[in-house]
Structure 1
Amino acid sequence: MSANKGFQTKIPDDDNSDSGFLSGPIDRLPGDPEESQEESKESVGASDSGNVKCDNEQRGDLDSGLDLCMSECLQSLRVSDTPAPLPLEGADIPPLAFLFQQDDDGDTQLHISAVHGCQKSVSTLIRVCPDKYWLDLPNDYGHTALHLAVMSGHAVVARMLVQAGASLGLRDLRGDTPIHAATRAKNVECLQALLAPIDSHRLTKNLASILNLKNYGGQTCVHLAATTGHLPTLQTLVYYGVDINAREGLGGWTALHIAARRGDVRLAQHLLERCAGVAPRARDYAGRTPRRLAARHPAFAARDAQRLFAPSAEDSDTDSDDDDEYDSEDPESLFDKIRGSMATAVVSN
């Protein structure tokens, strides 16, 4: 289901569909043997009990509004590696080609079930899926079922798909992986569902490389977390081994650059004091350090905020001067410097 449709179901109501209400005995054709009244009562009772069971099952899927501790649900969730085979006989089993057939938007039944959080339907589709490739079919917007489960906030469904082998590294049309989508939504539960080890002894393969994938805007997940300023999301990414000093592809900014440019004192303090390995003197593509960007933002004007980026004993005066040499926000001044140095070189020659 595409995100542009607001996650509305694509299955229209059919006026001719069975409502589940027992409307009475069916008229029989002439010549058919008549059933006894006792048999008719037994059939009616069986039908009524079946309807009650169906209603109870449907009510079980509804959200009661209570906090059911999603973390415990994710921890206890297991998808069997060797599911029981389905019976091959019976007209009630639709062909697999129909179940995984894409509609006009490229959505399959798995996309629709994932976006609505239908755990039973997703479990059944995973069980009958003949190849893991079908779990990763993208729709016309590049969204897989895992993308849609995360974007709609269904952490349990996302965990089911991860355990079934759905890929974490597939990109949508703007280059976002499911991890990007969870970070944008500031959904820690979905992020844990994606990144938690499948079992206690085995981590997801190539997790570090997937965590540091860039979208088509040059951003990794840590840059999105720094842009949103959501500390729990950033902490979760750091716990699972994201590169905290990764540079985004456009300006070469690290997460600390982004915090300084946004004037997010709380995030900058967390990065400098709580995240090991953060490079406070990293330079972007214009040669600027986070301290240089923080000096231009009024949020860091207070004394406590200034102390975060105060030069350390290791910083020399030369480094401090170099920090002020380049500034892409003042292109005319930079152009004058370059033109002046070129003129000096011509005169000397």
Structure 2
Amino acid sequence: MELARLLNPMDPTGESREAKPGGTTEERLDSGLDSLKDEEYRAVAAELTQLRVDCSLPRPTAAPVPGESHTWREHVTEDGDTLLHLAVIHETVDYIRNMIDSSRNTHFLNTQNILRQTPLHLAVITGQANVCERLLLAGADPTVVDDRGDTPLHMACRGGNLACFSVLTQNGSSELLKKVMSTFNYKGLNCLHLACVQGYLSLVESLVALGADINAQEQCNGRSALHLAVDLQNLPLVQLLLGGGADPNHLTYGGFSPYHLTYGRHNADIRGALFPLTHSQLRELPDSEPEDSEDEGERRGEQEEAGQTDEEVVYDDIQWNGH
């Protein structure tokens, strides 16, 4: 469907858009054209008319045409969406192609809406891997984060989008990719953590192969990917991480090893896989009370007979006002 048709206040059935309830199907698609008022529809339609883009003949060069007007880049909806945001939301391929090609290596490609999402974020949400690739090749920045601290790669890992994941990890330098993979969102999770939480084994395996830190700690409790796998009682994920080099003796901020997290759980296979790989001193819970030795028991007995406890100790060398 062409974007010009979507901008028409009447839908294909002939009913007014205002008669439709304003619902959403994804976490983000609420700032599309359906949220525009009638006057805004007309304004956007006028902007597109001025574009005079021939969708059947893509531009052969990225260089701007002298004297060409780009006022359409300045149009922004009340939700902060540019025309490129809207075109990506509604998957109007021809408009997307021409807007990107005429905006190569410009800030326009990285414009963020009120949710801090760029067109690249929206391309991942809508599952358009080809648009992701076109944006990246045109200079879109994959390190920009939205209002949740997620890069487009974070979104692909959370959603299990293999196509977009492949495009995002194959277009760009290895240094840039490592930077994105090591980025923590505002919940303290990186791409590997998100893939583990969702149980996407193929994404976890790919991230580790691409150089993601397999022992990186999420920033809330200091759990590694292996801790998360044990928490989720996901035996295949535990085995995958152990085979990929995960440290079974890595501790959380509270001093808990992955084996500690098996207590109270019913998956004996996970417990059995971790037991021989965990140091003996890291198998007992850190807050468990050790058994008293004979000397300690005797000392406690003497204190009890004298009416003293560890909290009540008599001192005879205190002086007050010379006494």
**Fold shared, TM-score > 0.5 on shorter chain:** yes
The answer to whether structure 1 residue 309 and structure 2 residue 274 are counterparts is: yes
Name the residue aligned to 2:203: 233
Counterpart CA distance in 2 for 1:308 and 1:293 is 13
Q: 1:286 aligns with which of 232, 240, 254?
A: 254
Name the residue aligned to 1:101: 75
**AA matched with 2:256:** R
CA contact (8 A) 1:175 1:214 kept: yes
Name the residue aligned to 2:220: 250
TM, length-normalised to structure 2:
0.70
Q: How does 1:30-179 map to 2 (within 5 A)?
A: 83-85=61-63, 87-88=65-66, 95-129=69-103, 131-179=105-153
Counterpart CA distance in 2 for 1:165 and 1:257 is 37
The answer to whether structure 1 residue 325 and structure 2 residue 293 are counterparts is: no
CA contact (8 A) 1:286 1:326 kept: no
CA contact (8 A) 2:153 2:165 kept: yes
CA contact (8 A) 1:288 1:326 kept: no
CA contact (8 A) 2:121 2:152 kept: yes
CA contact (8 A) 1:253 1:283 kept: yes
CA contact (8 A) 2:188 2:219 kept: yes
- Give the C-alpha shift of residue 320 in structure 1: 3.3
Q: How does 1:163-202 map to 2 (within 5 A)?
A: 163-198=137-172
When the two chains are superposed, the root-mean-square deviation of aligned CA atoms in Å is 3.3
- Give the C-alpha shift of residue 116 in structure 1: 2.8
- Give the C-alpha shift of residue 239 in structure 1: 2.4
Counterpart CA distance in 2 for 1:151 and 1:97 is 27
Counterpart CA distance in 2 for 1:272 and 1:318 is 20
Counterpart CA distance in 2 for 1:267 and 1:346 is 51
1:6-49 CA-to-partner distances (Å, cap 9, x unmatched) read: 575457787xx9xxxxxxxxxxxxxxxxxxxxxxxxxxxxxxxx
**AA matched with 1:251:** N
Note closer, same or farther for the CA distance 1:119–1:241 as it changes in structure 2 (3 Å cut).
Answer: farther
Instruction: Give identity over the alignment, percent.
Output: 29
Counterpart CA distance in 1 for 2:164 and 2:91 is 13
- Give the C-alpha shift of residue 243 in structure 1: 1.1
- Give the C-alpha shift of residue 197 in structure 1: 3.6
Residue range with higher mean Cα deviation, 204-213 or 186-195: 204-213
**AA matched with 1:164:** A
1:55-103 CA-to-partner distances (Å, cap 9, x unmatched) read: xx7xxxxxxxxxxxxxxxxxxxxx99x92545547xxx6x312234221
- Give the C-alpha shift of residue 167 in structure 1: 1.0
Name the count of aligned residue pairs. Answer: 258
**SS at structure 2 position matched to 1:305:** helix
Name the residue aligned to 2:302: none
Counterpart CA distance in 2 for 1:295 and 1:254 is 17
CA contact (8 A) 2:205 2:240 kept: no
CA contact (8 A) 1:231 1:267 kept: yes
Higher-RCO chain (CA-CA 8 Å, sequence separation at least 6): 1
Counterpart CA distance in 2 for 1:348 and 1:167 is 68
1:129-182 CA-to-partner distances (Å, cap 9, x unmatched) read: 265211111000111000000011111101111111111111111111111111
Q: Give the unaligned 5+ runs of structure 1.
A: 18-52, 58-78, 328-342
- Give the C-alpha shift of residue 266 in structure 1: 1.5
CA contact (8 A) 2:62 2:104 kept: no
Counterpart CA distance in 2 for 1:220 and 1:285 is 17
Note closer, same or farther for the CA distance 1:172–1:326 as it changes in structure 2 (3 Å cut).
Answer: farther
1:267-311 CA-to-partner distances (Å, cap 9, x unmatched) read: 1111112x1x3111111111111111123321x23xx33321123
**SS at structure 2 position matched to 1:175:** coil
Q: 2:177 aligns with which of 180, 192, 207?
A: 207
1:178-197 CA-to-partner distances (Å, cap 9, x unmatched) read: 11111111101111111104
Counterpart CA distance in 2 for 1:345 and 1:192 is 62
Counterpart CA distance in 2 for 1:88 and 1:186 is 43
- Give the C-alpha shift of residue 262 in structure 1: 1.2
